[in-house]
């Protein structure tokens, strides 16, 4: 028993729990479900605005932090994997002023529809912006197509096998000397000062206790007409280090609400 207790506290706040829903295909299917005109207490006609508020508003701090720097200014061909409702894509369009193409990819037709609407409202649609429905594990592009690959809270909603295959596909479509900017909830807290690290371990553990096996899903689905969170804290660097031509150049910590987030800046070396 004491050994089990010691094992638990060693992993406290560092656990990477399995996804509760199986696969990214199940996530895309759920997004189609929550886009329908559902009722919550006969007042809220559609849960989608609440998804955008919860996942969009609270993620904006880390999204803005990720795009600070010179990478966007010199990029020409950009891929956003997992475009979601379009907020991060809008920041890309505004920041990547020299981009000839910006490809916005998502497996969910509803997400692509929502992203198009968002960019239309912001008057940011252009001939350089291409929306593509595709699985990020099997992208419809040739090797070395993009000099910048970005994703915001994509990898942390994938299961272990999907993370591995998505990293390999990212490596394939990136050009030599290309870069990736990746944002995920994180269990990688070792470089944080002790008080902040302890707080992040506590928040991670509380999150995982509710997330694991969908323990809190009944509450979430009641409140948000069928939607429950999919992202969870992961250690993305262990997957990135398995890709032979990728190197982690720099990382920094941000937050989504109280939960720690890590932003990875990754480069692709010449073969």
What does the pLDDT read at residue 84?
87
Q: How many CB atoms lie within 10 A of CB 268?
A: 24
Task: Please tell me the CATH code under which domain 2-268 is placed.
Answer: 3.40.50.150
Give 55's DSSP letter: I
Nearest to 99 by CA among 117, 115, 80, 83: 80
What does the pLDDT read at residue 132?
97
What is the pLDDT tens value at each position of the chain, 271 positions in all?
Answer: 777 677 767 888 999 999 999 999 988 887 777 666 555 544 555 556 666 666 666 788 888 889 887 778 889 999 999 998 888 999 999 999 899 999 999 999 988 988 998 899 999 999 999 999 999 999 999 999 999 999 999 999 999 999 999 999 999 999 999 999 999 999 999 999 999 999 999 999 999 999 999 999 888 777 666 678 899 999 999 999 999 999 999 999 998 888 999 999 999 987 6
How close are the terminal C-alpha atoms of the chain, in Å? 50
118-121 CB contacts, 8 Å cutoff, 24+ apart: 118/85, 118/86, 118/87, 118/89, 118/90, 119/86, 119/89, 119/90, 119/93
What does the pLDDT read at residue 250?
93
């Amino acid at each position: 028993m004491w050994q089990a207790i010691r094992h638990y506290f060693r992993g406290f706040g560092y656990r990477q729990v399995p996804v509760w829903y199986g696969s990214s295909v199940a996530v895309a299917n759920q997004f189609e479900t929550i886009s329908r005109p559902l009722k919550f207490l006969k007042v809220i006609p559609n849960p989608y605005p609440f998804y955008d508020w919860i996942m969009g508003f609270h993620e904006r701090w880390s999204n803005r932090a990720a795009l600070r720097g010179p990478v966007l200014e010199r990029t020409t061909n950009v891929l956003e994997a997992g475009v979601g409702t379009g907020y991060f894509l809008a920041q890309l369009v505004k920041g990547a002023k020299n981009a000839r193409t910006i490809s916005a990819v998502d497996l969910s037709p509803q997400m692509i529809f929502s992203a198009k609407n968002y960019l239309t409202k912001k008057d940011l649609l252009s001939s350089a912006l291409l929306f593509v429905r595709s699985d990020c594990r099997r992208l419809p592009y040739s090797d070395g197509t993009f000099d910048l690959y970005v994703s915001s809270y994509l990898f942390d909603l994938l299961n272990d096998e999907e993370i591995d295959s998505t990293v390999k596909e990212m490596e394939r479509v990136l050009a030599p000397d290309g870069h990736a900017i990746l944002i995920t909830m994180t269990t990688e807290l070792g470089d944080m000062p002790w008080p902040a690290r302890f707080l992040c371990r506590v928040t991670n553990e509380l999150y995982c206790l509710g997330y694991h096996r969908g323990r809190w899903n009944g509450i979430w689905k009641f409140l948000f007409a069928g939607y429950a969170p999919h992202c969870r804290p992961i250690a993305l660097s262990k997957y990135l280090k398995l890709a032979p031509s990728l190197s982690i150049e720099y990382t920094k910590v941000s937050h989504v609400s109280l939960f720690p987030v890590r932003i990875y800046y990754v480069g692709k070396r010449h073969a």
